Chain A
């Protein structure tokens, strides 16, 4: 019995995004499309355990969803006629007709792309984009999303309901824009993927240092996107960045779950398959020509680490140059902080510290634990241990991640000895 449910889960994970995407094009409403797809899933859960899984489960689900849609359409038409007598119009969102279903499933790639763009539409808040993307495209259930982000299920459920309503009310067209508008919309999609990835890679809260399932989901979405819009260099840049970063997952956690910093990691434990894939993605971005965008630049930095067999072989001057380019493109105190670290490695801790000190007045970094953490590290290297200890302690009070707090307090204690 549970075996068949595992199999249905698997079918759902494989088919749901395509199903919702095709339905959304036809009924022109993402919320309704998702409900129809869910209805089809319920029908499958009722029928498949007895009848067995059909030969072509995707087509079966699509047919089931189609029947529900047409039922609703007919019901709504009857309702609309009644409403018309009361001077109501038909609801725009439901203005699809039966023959629209003939074309369903014919343009899978375009449908998926449209669905990605809509799930990350600028009318939605970032939280809503993340939840909707995981739900509609990642095939995650509401409880799974809630667990991943350590928030109550009801919060995620509400977020999704509200997001669907916002899209419906804003009458967001289900289409792929072109030119600069497409580039803008894509950057919103990439931002959401990277956010999901980072939430998995360096969990901002909770007791685990990483939540690898979220990294996998983000990578998966990125890889799909790279095939949907292969002409966009930044998509490959982001995929490269995520692949290379993820390659270090195994090496960045110690036996007791404690974080291990990049330069202290056992590089033999890096996943070299992912590194190779990252290099390949970066090459795709570079081959498309033009100056590298922010994701590709960050990927190029990650690639410098990936290429170095030992930490001492790292090409720090090149990393500094790449951070210079990144800071020009995307000026931000966080980039400056990273650049300062690279400068300290290339040209000595004193030079790095001077750059970090210049950031102390940045309001954006006031509550950012990595500022005192980096500063503490540089001070320790310069032998100013008392000051270093104080910085690590301050960093420990700022992080919300339990593992990281322990780690920082450990470094503080080492400075005090």
Chain B
């Protein structure tokens, strides 16, 4: 099954603070461990802070554009990756080993697959 992993925003990510070389190295190492475990990262990226983004709100048949930044930091997404795993339990076990050092929220959301519509 495929899961979308959403890494929620923090004050740092919203301020556009880039990860340090050490954090990047830890992330790379984590990625290697995932590959060795046979878990496949199909895609993924970090997102720029919401101050660089926009929202389109559809209401009354007319789109309204709202420029960032947006409030509710913890509800915002700062990065994502798409992984292929055997089960939600596997995704949880795996992401629990991520190089996160406190405060981060990582949300795991399985995708609807063809068999869900059968």
Cα distance A227–B93 when bound, in Å? 22
Q: Which among A6, A13, A216, A253 has the greatest number of chain B C-beta atoms within 10 A? A: A13
Cβ proximity bits A209-252 to B, threshold 8 Å, 1 near / 0 not:
00000001001110110010000000000000000000001100
With both beta carbons as reference points, the residue of chain A lying nearest to B115 in the complex is identified as A212
Is B102 located at the chain interface by the 8 A CB criterion?
A: no
What is the interface size of chain A, counting residues whose CB is below 8 A from a CB of the partner?
Answer: 31
Is A7 in contact with B40, judged by CB distance below 8 angstroms? no
Q: Which residues of A contact B73 (CB under 8 A)?
A: none
Is A109 located at the chain interface by the 8 A CB criterion?
A: yes
Is A273 in contact with B43, judged by CB distance below 8 angstroms? yes
Is B42 in contact with A227, judged by CB distance below 8 angstroms? no
Q: Which residues of A contact B114 (CB under 8 A)?
A: 249-250, 253
Is A17 located at the chain interface by the 8 A CB criterion?
A: yes
Question: Size range of the interface on B?
Answer: 10 to 19
User: What is the predominant secondary structure among interface residues of chain A facing chain B?
Assistant: helix
Cβ proximity bits B96-118 to A, threshold 8 Å, 1 near / 0 not:
00000000000000000010000
Say how far A200's CB is from chain B's closest CB, in angstroms: 14
Is B42 in contact with A13, judged by CB distance below 8 angstroms? no
Is B89 located at the chain interface by the 8 A CB criterion?
A: yes
Q: Which residues of B contact A227 (CB under 8 A)?
A: 32, 35-36
Is A18 in contact with B90, judged by CB distance below 8 angstroms? no
Q: Which residues of A contact B82 (CB under 8 A)?
A: 273
Q: Can you show 30 pairs from A to B with CB atoms below 8 A apart?
A: A3-B89, A7-B89, A7-B92, A9-B89, A9-B90, A10-B93, A10-B94, A11-B93, A13-B37, A13-B38, A13-B86, A13-B90, A14-B90, A14-B93, A17-B37, A18-B37, A57-B93, A109-B36, A137-B38, A138-B38, A219-B40, A220-B38, A220-B39, A223-B38, A223-B40, A224-B36, A227-B35, A227-B36, A253-B114, A277-B42
